[in-house]
Amino acid sequence: MKSIAVIYLGRRGGGPVYAYEMTRGLIENGYRVYAFISAGVENLENWRTLKTEMTEEIRTYDSEVSFVTRSIAFRAREYSALKKKYKNVKIDACYIPMAHTWASYIVNLFPDAQVIDTIHDPIPHSTNRSLYEGLIRLGDKLMKLGVKKRKPDDIVILSKAFLDCVCQKYEMDAAHVHVIPHGVFDYYQKCGNGRVFTYPLDKINFLFFGRICAYKGIDVLAEAFRAVKEQLPTSTLTVVGSGDFSAYEQLYRDLPDVTVVNEWISDEDVAGYFQTDATLILVLPYVDATQSGVIPIAMSCGVPVIASNTGGLAEQVEDGVTGRLCLPNNAEDLARCMMHCARADNSEIIQNAKDFIQTLSWDRLSAQLGDLVR
């Protein structure tokens, strides 16, 4: 069976789960896997349970300052040791589940290997991520200082909507750009007993869950919920996620029955926001999007989903079948969808969504990935 080097050097969020699940699937499909992961990855203990040929835990960085110091240290000492260690190890493909500025270091350990990149965001979001963008700029400078950045042989994207865009942007033939959709995120239900958020049993509860940033449409949601609250007094809204909420505080300050949990949610605590006996509806009012890892979490937990009809979200949510789609950046249409979902019998949609998401098992998706290895 062929050997694959999985290179995931991120630390937090949905990325570690996505990378772990795809890697687990590769192993279960019989591939020989060498894993190169960040020593600070949030789900490190799960990675340690995988039956890899070898797992390298690499100390990475968590700020622009530590990026510079750790890059110098890694280049001076650890990279040389890895190069010596893997000099005679044959790897058929290097698989990068999510981009990282250090990935090229590991790829260059295996000059003859096929390179497969998964690109989660083919187009930039309408938001300001200064740290992320700063690290990318620093990474590009570092590559120019002597670390060769290899062009991928194949690219994996998660939505058909971006196929033409990726082919053009990366100057790739369509035969080398592959769509493998986002898998089911039932990982969080298996993470153990974290805290459980309590929703009122006698009310209709709307939930926003995810990182707080401009393209997520938090302002649109505030306007929509104000309209919903006038028509449906027995409704609540919970906004959960880390990030700077200051731009939205005034919009939400005088809204009744709103709870804001503005903090990072650990893997152990994620399921506690979705598993409930109360009536709960997930709302993702994105202004623009590629795809969402929150949608599979909700679907696997039996929570109906309302999402904006933008980017690849329509490939994750079929309107009226597995969820509801609204016009992006349109508070009036979002409020309409919220009211419709609140008053409807969603049992069929919930079951359809559960059936749909189970077709996206990680063993099936990783088998598709493995088939790309030449």
Whether residue 205 contacts residue 236, with contact meaning beta carbons closer than 8 Å, is answered with yes
The pairing of strands 114-119 and 54-58 is unpaired
Beta-carbon-side half-sphere exposure of residue 361 (alpha carbons within 13 Å): 9
pLDDT reported for residue 279? 97
Place of tokens 């591939």: 31
Distance CA 354, CA 22 (A): 20
Distance CA 122, CA 113 (A): 24
Taking the CB of residue 364, how many other CB atoms lie within 10 A of it? Answer: 15
The pairing of strands 279-284 and 114-119 is unpaired
pLDDT reported for residue 137? 54
Facing residues of 321 across strands?
none
Distance CA 298, CA 323 (A): 11
Backbone angles phi, psi at 294, to 5 degrees: -75, -30
Kindly write down the DSSP assignment for every residue of 246-310, as one continuous string.
GGGHHHHHT-TTEEEE-S---HHHHGGGT--SSEEEEEE--SS-S--SHHHHHHHTT--EEEES-
Could you list the pLDDT tens digit for every one of the 374 residues in the chain?
899 999 999 998 889 999 999 999 999 999 999 999 999 999 999 999 999 999 999 998 877 778 888 888 888 888 989 999 999 999 999 999 999 888 999 999 999 999 999 999 887 765 545 444 555 555 555 544 556 678 999 999 999 989 998 999 989 999 999 999 999 888 888 876 788 999 999 999 999 999 999 999 999 999 999 999 999 999 999 999 999 999 999 999 999 999 999 999 998 999 999 999 999 999 999 999 888 999 999 999 999 999 999 999 999 999 999 999 999 999 999 999 999 999 999 999 999 999 999 899 999 999 999 999 99
Domains of the chain: 3-180 (3.40.50.2000), 192-358 (3.40.50.2000)
